[in-house]
A and B are shown apart, each in its own frame.
Chain A
Amino acid sequence: MSKTSRLLLSSAAALLLASASPALADKASNTLNVAFSAEPEPLDTYKIAGREGLILARHVYDGLLYKDLESGTFKPALAESWEQTGPLTMEFTLRKGVKFHNGADFTADDVVATLGAVSDPAYGTRYAISVDWIGKVEKLDSHKVRITMAKPFAGAIEMLADALPIYPQAEFAATGSEGMARNPVGTGPYRLVEQEPGVRYVLERFADHYAGSPKSGATIDRIVVRTIPEMNTQYAELMSGALDWIWRIPPDQAAQLESRVQVVSAPIIRISFVNFALQDGTPLADKRVRQAILHAVNRQAIVDAFAGGASEVLKAACNPVQFGCAQDVTTYEYAPEKAKALLAEAGLADGFTLPMVFAAMPRPVAEAVAADLAKVGITLQLDELQYAAGVGKWREGQVPAFFSNWGSYGIGDVVFTLSNFFGGGADDLLKDPELTEWLTLADTSTDPAVRQEAYAKALKKIADEALWMPMYGFNVNYGLSNDLSFTPHPDEFARFWQASWK
């Protein structure tokens, strides 16, 4: 379906829907009906990347810790307390009386078996960064474990906060990853009672969920999750009362739905950016040219026109809600005349042609950037690619400018952002030794002050040198039945255990 026909169709459907009368949601049977556009992956959290599967998994499983996003603090979950016992060792005292969904008791063996298995490269955990810091996991007694880190990593606690779920040892040993995908068993507030992979999932409130859990207090009995790929169909279902919760509604559609159902827009950690490759002899090697580009693009207008909702223009190369995302950096206001002057200074008064690959970004946004740059004489050659093809070309150095987005795994710490692009890895074509050094220090230190200072230095340099064009932070629009109370979070993990009926 072409974009134009989609747009026409959406408008027609929205007009027709506007005259429809909404039915009651499924408050009566205390069942929350949820739709995702994308098919959730199997619920072995360690093997998956898609947010849909991860959301379901967080209802089924628990981690040792939990991060309270409101206060930014870590709370005890399966571990009732923990302490840093050495530069590379942490000890966790586990909660007693916790039951898995299959009735098994939660003990230190479960932690040792799970974290031990998934940190073994042979297991094939999807994101190495999430587990490659785990060196050794030892049982100290039935409810006490020690984790020895393989390397210093400041994101360790973040990871242990619900991103690394604990599986039941006996079941996991017997059935492995496939078993956990087919028959997920956790300690979470909901248990999976029915699944047709990728299609339909039914979760039921776990009556024996442990007291004192940061995820306790669920009031909704059943959650039925279906995959409905067509957004217009989701709107129709939401209107007719067959759905209570949908998300990722495009801004224009959100505005149209607002009169019929609840629409909530919430900022998320995912950010968009343009990354520059600074090959010698090319215009982008000149700092003034990069600065000119930053001055030439009217990012506020782009946000207003295309992102809407809770989105905001970014100052630095990270999301301000993340730990370490210093905001005291050089910013570039929209000033086309200044951009022209900088280009003239760089000897490019007549402009130049810049190829830019964009992936996982809407074409209209890329075209808006091109239109702004055209006003100062820069002809942007747009090349839209699938994400894999785009990032592949970037890593091979074939792309001078790459426009995409980054979600930091939904984690509020720049340790999952900056090093990927400036820490010397494959996505860092610059390989600036100073930046790499600061980021390594910040990523490995356990002292928040040291980390903050090092990140600030790195962000300042990135901004001063205009190595990146930070674009904007994304937002997610949720469509909710009028009966539902739901609070979105910036990490894009829907917490249905906190949802309730009005």
Chain B
Amino acid sequence: MVSYLFRRLVVAFCVCIAVSMLSFGLMFMAGDPSIAIAGQGGSAADAEAVRAAYGFDRPFLVQYLDWIGSALLGDFGQSIYFHIPVTEIIGNRLPVTLQLGALSFGLALVLAVPLGIAAALKPNGLVDRLALVLAVTGQAVPSFWLGLMAIVVFGVWYGLVPISGADTWRGYILPVVVLTYSALPAMMRITRSGMIDVLAADYIRTAYAKGLPLRIVVLRHALRNAVLPLVSLAAVQLGILLSGSIVIESVFALNGLGRLAWESLLRADLPVVQAIILILSLVYVVLTTASDLLNAMLDPRIRGAR
């Protein structure tokens, strides 16, 4: 298990470095950041001043090494747009995204697993059909549309919840519900299909034959094997939610990481973009590594796999 963990961590580190290098390069290919920073009224002289001030005139590799060296020590530099340390801005915006992501993920998981199990127990039954409707609509309806409709109905018509911002916990209600609705279908369907496969296995038949009650068979015997694919999928879903749903954050005016990334990209605020990309790639790497490890714990056969 330790060598498995070590191997996964080495790969994870290499992925982060590769992502950071690639993203650093892509930013420069997207147009001269000096001109973007100098702004639409900026003259060529203003752009030159920016180029010198921020060291964009140095060779690409020097800039990259300089940045990654500081980043590894936890210093992501100053935001070009906000003139304050990047860590401070990200520190301000990250909690919003974390809360939004964690709440939506938790709610989706809590709903998806029982619903998936219930659907699997009686395929084509009423619960299964209802779950299918939920899954299809959840996947087919764009979340921005759902978000705006929720705003109009619950915010404008009935005035039950705040429309935008996260000044109070009530501001999270609509975005969490909308995000949950989008994240739910995939997790529910994979639970359902995993459960259907497992319930057809010989050892489940044996368990029933021994006279074990349904609850014990399903929760103790079947679920452990049925959730293996769910663990991997859930890691990716959580990654998506934690990387910040740009659309949902924009619709509900939540100032999270997703929006910060998007806005920073548009205004060529390189230090912020780079830091976010590095952090998000780390999040994905940690989550996928954690899901692999969890799967390895749940299924001993995975540990031996090379």
**Inter-chain contact A128/B46, CB cutoff 8 Å:** yes
| Per-residue A-contact encoding for B20-55, CB less than 8 Å = 1, 0 else | 000000000011111110111111111001000100
| Per-residue B-contact encoding for A220-243, CB less than 8 Å = 1, 0 else | 000000111110110011011010
| Per-residue A-contact encoding for B241-273, CB less than 8 Å = 1, 0 else | 000000100111101000100010010100000
- The listed residue (A41, A124, A200, A409) touching B82 by CB distance below 8 A is A41
Q: Determine how close the nearest CB of chain B comes to the CB of A363; give it in whole angstroms.
A: 17
Residues of chain A within 8 A of B279, CB atoms compared: none
**Inter-chain contact B250/A197, CB cutoff 8 Å:** no
Cα distance, A237 to B247, chains bound together (Å): 18
Residues of chain A within 8 A of B53, CB atoms compared: 124
Cα distance, A392 to B255, chains bound together (Å): 31
Cα distance, A200 to B171, chains bound together (Å): 15
**Chain A CB within 8 A of B6 CB:** no
Interface with A: B100-108, B152-160, B288-296, which one? Answer: B152-160
**Inter-chain contact B156/A389, CB cutoff 8 Å:** no
Residues of chain B at interface, number, CB under 8 A: 50
**Chain B CB within 8 A of A20 CB:** yes
Residues of chain B within 8 A of A392, CB atoms compared: 31-32, 35
- Closest A residue to B266 by beta carbon equals A386
Cα distance, A245 to B242, chains bound together (Å): 32
Residues of chain B within 8 A of A384, CB atoms compared: none
- The listed residue (B40, B44, B83, B266) touching A426 by CB distance below 8 A is B44
Interface with A: B141-149, B184-192, B217-225, B226-234, which one? Answer: B141-149
Residues of chain A at interface, number, CB under 8 A: 62
Cα distance, A360 to B224, chains bound together (Å): 55
| Per-residue A-contact encoding for B160-186, CB less than 8 Å = 1, 0 else | 001111000000000000000000000
Residues of chain B within 8 A of A227, CB atoms compared: 253, 255
- The listed residue (B38, B84, B156) touching A182 by CB distance below 8 A is B84
**Chain B CB within 8 A of A374 CB:** no
- The listed residue (B31, B40, B149, B259) touching A16 by CB distance below 8 A is B149
**Inter-chain contact B31/A388, CB cutoff 8 Å:** yes
**Inter-chain contact A23/B89, CB cutoff 8 Å:** no
**Chain A CB within 8 A of B203 CB:** no
Residues of chain A within 8 A of B162, CB atoms compared: 242
**Inter-chain contact B84/A197, CB cutoff 8 Å:** yes
Q: Determine how close the nearest CB of chain A comes to the CB of B94; give it in whole angstroms.
A: 13
**Inter-chain contact A233/B49, CB cutoff 8 Å:** no
**A196-B92, A226-B253, A237-B163 as given contacts; A178 in contact with B40, CB under 8 Å:** no
**Inter-chain contact B43/A242, CB cutoff 8 Å:** no
Residues of chain B within 8 A of A41, CB atoms compared: 81-82
**Chain A CB within 8 A of B151 CB:** yes
- The listed residue (A5, A229, A387) touching B250 by CB distance below 8 A is A229
CB-CB contacts below 8 Å: A87-137 with B: 121, 124, 126-129
CB-CB contacts below 8 Å: B106-162 with A: 142, 144-145, 148-149, 151-153, 155-157, 159, 162
**Inter-chain contact A389/B31, CB cutoff 8 Å:** yes
**Inter-chain contact A44/B44, CB cutoff 8 Å:** no
Cα distance, A421 to B162, chains bound together (Å): 48
**Inter-chain contact A360/B46, CB cutoff 8 Å:** no
Residues of chain A within 8 A of B253, CB atoms compared: 226-230, 233
**Chain B CB within 8 A of A181 CB:** yes
**Chain B CB within 8 A of A177 CB:** yes
**A41-B82, A242-B163, A427-B43 as given contacts; A199 in contact with B255, CB under 8 Å:** yes
- The listed residue (B43, B44, B156, B268) touching A236 by CB distance below 8 A is B156
Cα distance, A203 to B109, chains bound together (Å): 43
Q: Please indicate which of the listed interface residues B89, B92, B142, B164 has the most CB atoms of chain A within 10 Å of its own CB.
A: B164
- Closest B residue to A196 by beta carbon equals B92
**A420-B43, A426-B43, A427-B44 as given contacts; A198 in contact with B83, CB under 8 Å:** no
**Inter-chain contact B164/A233, CB cutoff 8 Å:** yes
**A229-B250, A360-B40, A407-B41 as given contacts; A13 in contact with B148, CB under 8 Å:** yes
**Inter-chain contact B83/A177, CB cutoff 8 Å:** yes
**Chain B CB within 8 A of A391 CB:** yes
**Inter-chain contact A1/B159, CB cutoff 8 Å:** no
Residues of chain B within 8 A of A226, CB atoms compared: 164-165, 253
Cα distance, A240 to B157, chains bound together (Å): 8
CB-CB contacts below 8 Å: A391-438 with B: 391-392, 395, 405-409, 420, 425-427
Cα distance, A409 to B42, chains bound together (Å): 10
Cα distance, A198 to B88, chains bound together (Å): 13
**A389-B30, A392-B35 as given contacts; A49 in contact with B84, CB under 8 Å:** no
A–B complex contacts, Cβ < 8 Å, 6 sampled: A20-B156, A127-B39, A128-B49, A226-B253, A387-B35, A389-B31
Q: Please list the residues of chain B having a beta carbon within 8 angstroms of any beta carbon in chain A.
A: 30-36, 38-46, 49, 53, 81-84, 89, 92, 142, 144-145, 148-149, 151-153, 155-157, 159, 162-165, 247, 250-253, 255, 259, 263, 266, 268
Q: Please list the residues of chain A having a beta carbon within 8 angstroms of any beta carbon in chain B.
A: 1, 5, 9, 12-13, 16-17, 20, 23, 38-39, 41-42, 44, 47, 49-50, 121, 124, 126-129, 177-178, 181-182, 196-200, 226-230, 232-233, 236-237, 239-240, 242, 360, 385-389, 391-392, 395, 405-409, 420, 425-427
Besides A197-B92, A237-B163, A237-B164, 5 other A-B contacts (C-beta < 8 A): A124-B49, A226-B164, A233-B148, A236-B152, A389-B32
